[in-house]
Structure 1
């Protein structure tokens, strides 16, 4: 038989109040779990990095391109990846669904990186005059790495939960 020690104050409380305080403690921790998970931080950083791209020279070149579809497709890809990353942050209760959305965002981010690279190559050669444009493409690459890391951590969490279920 296992005995637990309780404080004098807890011994004076009725059992219903103790149970409700325990329940309240657990329900208050859900938002804290969201912030403490590394994949949430990676998804938020991917969102912010994609948002930064809208204020960089590579985006200005894409929008000013005579072929309007290039700028439009670039903006749509960045926005889609941003929004999916934001939505995936709040899917932390369902890891399998969250992982699927992060994979979709990763593929969209790869397409955005391909468009940015194509814009960079069509600007004519590499040199010191393209440092800002290359750095702009680097933001897209960093967002891709953040999405990839988020997917890795979600997968690790899911494997940990599955291994715990096997132990029970």
Structure 2
């Protein structure tokens, strides 16, 4: 149902992806002369937000919900790869790139929360199956 822990995890993942728009890594991507990098990062951040919000309301069909979250996680991995690519093009990890690393961490944390949501949906599915066996 909507009040389950996976709903909270999906909402947090969506908020983390959305908050990545206000970090320095997004600003660096949009200021890049090759515009496809900024557009790629922006689209690979907004698509998982939309899919996560829609999949919150798919709680009646748990296998379908899991498949949509896995698709969202795949796009999230692409967003993380964009962030890593931008970070390495700026010179790698270091104290002078702390803000950019923070933005990349937000994207990675969003992926972690998506995986936690899948885990809790599977737990719910196992619980429902065990209750069906008892009846």
Identify the match of residue 2 of structure 2 among 31, 34, 39: 34
For residues 71-90 of structure 1, the aligned pairs below 5 Å read 71-90=38-57
Alignment match of 2:89 (pick from 114, 122, 137):
122
Larger C-alpha radius of gyration, 1 or 2? Answer: 1
Q: Which whole-Å CA distance do the structure 2 matches of 1:110 and 1:68 have between them?
A: 20
1:56 aligns with 23
The alignment's TM-score, normalised by the length of structure 2, stands at 0.96
Q: Pairwise CA RMSD of aligned residues?
A: 0.9
Which of these residues, 114, 119, 133, is aligned with residue 152 of structure 1?
119
Q: What's the CA shift for 1:55?
A: 0.6
Taking the aligned partners of 2:68 and 2:13, their CA distance within structure 1 comes to 13
1:104 aligns with: 71
Distance in 2 separating the partners of 1:128 and 1:155: 40
Query: Which fold has the larger relative contact order, with Cα–Cα distance below 8 Å and residues 6 or more apart in sequence?
Result: 2
Runs of 4+ with deviation above 4 angstroms: none
Gaps spanning 5+ residues in structure 1: where? 1-32
Aligned residue-pair number: 135
Deviation at 1:126, TM superposition (A): 2.8
Cα distance, 1:108 vs. partner?
Answer: 0.8
